[in-house]
Homo-oligomer: A and B are copies of this chain.
Amino acid sequence: MRDFSTDHRWLSINTATVRAQWTLDRIIEECARRDIRAISPWRDQVAAVGLDRVAGLLRDTGIVLSGYCRGGMFPASTAEGRRAAIDDNRRAIDEAKTLDAPCLVLVVGSLPGALQGRPEGKDLRAARTDVQDGIGAILDHARDARVPLAIEPLHPMYAADRACINTLEQALDVCDALDPERSGALGVAVDAYHVWWDPKLAAQIRRAGRERLLAFHVCDWLVPTRDLLNDRGMMGDGVIDLPQMRGWVEDAGFAGYSEVEIFSAEDWWKRDGGEVLDTCIGRHRSAV
């Protein structure tokens, strides 16, 4: 297992972590100043600054991506809606290619309308079919662009509105169905926050193996958790045994970045962005 205690060369910042404080150009500048070598930006943050400008800033600073957030949201109640989602995912792949991202993270979506608070139905199985069909429809495009797709299983508390893929086992079943040859074009993003509770986690990480482990995200589960979406903790402040989980992914062959992704409306998003990044660096050394 790699020693993280003496430097932060394997730290990546998911830019949602400081999205409330800074635009993406400033985030890149602040990361570069701290020798943070990787980020994972969101599409809306990229669009706000401009894709080509972001690509230029990355070149200038030498910062690379650990992933691009995000594709997905495949289910829809009409064929037109499903086609639109697929088209949008193709554009996300193209953007990821422009930014030389090692993967496009997929938050796959679930019941149509639920994210807007108006679910149009209860058919989780249909949503799961839409997801598998949608990923299948963009896989060749991703392969041509050399942008692997990373299915991110989301915590079951998001099963209604954000993602109907809720365990690593389920995500890997989709990978096996669509990419049985383990070509490298399709895999998973393992986010500690979403999967830490799973009694089958260690076994499924082994099953994933090097070819399927495309990203590793960290933060912490707070006790108590006061909000379903925006109360994630800084590494070390909660109950997830992150070094154990990192050991599992490294034993399975993962050798990439530990990407910090913290949604925290009442705490970290209210602090100074520099303090947040400095804390991420410290906790990456001591708690990941």
* Chain A residues close to B by CB (< 8 Å): 111, 114, 117, 119, 122-124, 128, 155-157, 159-161, 164, 166-167, 170, 196-199, 221, 223-226, 228, 238-241
The reply to whether B160 and A239 contact each other, CB–CB distance below 8 Å, is yes
Known: A111-B239, A228-B228, A239-B111. A160 touches B128 (CB 8 A): no
Docked Cα-Cα span, A239 to B240, in Å, equals 30
The reply to whether A157 and B157 contact each other, CB–CB distance below 8 Å, is yes
The reply to whether B197 and A161 contact each other, CB–CB distance below 8 Å, is no
Chain B residue with minimal CB distance to A165? Answer: B199
Chain B residue with minimal CB distance to A113? Answer: B223
Known: A114-B223, A228-B225. A197 touches B159 (CB 8 A): yes
Question: B residues within 8 A CB of A224?
Answer: 117, 161, 228
Residue among A123, A170, A239 with max Cβ neighbours from chain B (10 Å): A239
Main secondary structure of the interface of A (DSSP, over half): loop
28 A-B residue pairs with Cβ-Cβ distance under 8 Å, sorted by A, are: A111-B223, A114-B223, A114-B239, A117-B223, A119-B223, A119-B239, A122-B239, A122-B241, A128-B199, A155-B156, A155-B157, A156-B156, A156-B157, A156-B197, A157-B225, A157-B228, A160-B197, A160-B221, A160-B223, A160-B238, A160-B239, A161-B223, A164-B197, A166-B197, A166-B198, A166-B199, A226-B228, A228-B228
Chain B residue with minimal CB distance to A201? Answer: B124
Docked Cα-Cα span, A221 to B119, in Å, equals 11
Question: B residues within 8 A CB of A225?
Answer: 157, 160, 228
How far in angstroms is the closest Cβ of chain B from A60?
41
The reply to whether A240 and B122 contact each other, CB–CB distance below 8 Å, is yes
Chain B residue with minimal CB distance to A243? Answer: B122
Question: B residues within 8 A CB of A128?
Answer: 199
Chain B residue with minimal CB distance to A157? Answer: B157
Known: A111-B239, A119-B223, A161-B224. A124 touches B170 (CB 8 A): no
